[in-house]
Amino acid sequence: MPLGTPQNLVPYITQTAIGQREQLSIFGDDYPTIDGTAVRDYIHVMDLANAHVVALERLITHKMVANFETFNIGTGTGSSVLEVVRAFEKATGLELNYKIIQRRDGDVTAAYADTSRANNILGWKSKFTLQEALESAWKWQQNVVAAKES
């Protein structure tokens, strides 16, 4: 669980939906994207964990071809901030309170992983959809609140 204010979209979404945050701020709607909001690669935490396991197996079984190897891990697909908001609303049946505000300095239009090395060398590929990742994040957030109330 993030300490303080989250710096990532998904925990901010779940905290807004649960009532911990009053409103989600979306930074800019004038990017040259499908809906004007920035695009990022959102991966399910289990996909990320599985990628680490596959990489460790490669290390343990001495299949590495160099002292170190690097792999981009992600879905390989970008989703806009508004696409993520809409996917969350669809996954949960909730309506998020959000507003569009000015862009943050330094934010790029789009950033997502080129997963070809991970796919081809590790044999790894993300399995969970964005909607599944958001459903999982929502369940986790609900469990955090329930645990605090116990």
Residue 106 gets the label, from left (phi > 0), alpha (psi -120 to 50) or beta, of: left
8 Å CB contact between 121 and 71:
yes
Whose tokens are 């959102």? That residue is 42
* pTM score over 0.95: no
Q: Per residue in 95-143, pLDDT tens?
A: 999 999 999 999 999 999 999 999 999 999 999 999 999 999 999 999 9
- Report angle CA 100, 20, 45 to the nearest 5 degrees: 80
Domain ranges of the chain: 9-139
What is d(CA 59, CA 102) in angstroms, rounded to the nearest whole number?
A: 45
Distances (CA, A) of 80 to 59, 83, 121, 149: 35, 5, 29, 34
Query: pLDDT-derived band of residue 61, with 50, 70 and 90 as boundaries?
Result: very high
Please tell me the class of the 9-139 domain: alpha beta
8 Å CB contact between 71 and 51:
yes
Q: Per residue in 1-12, pLDDT tens?
A: 556 788 899 999
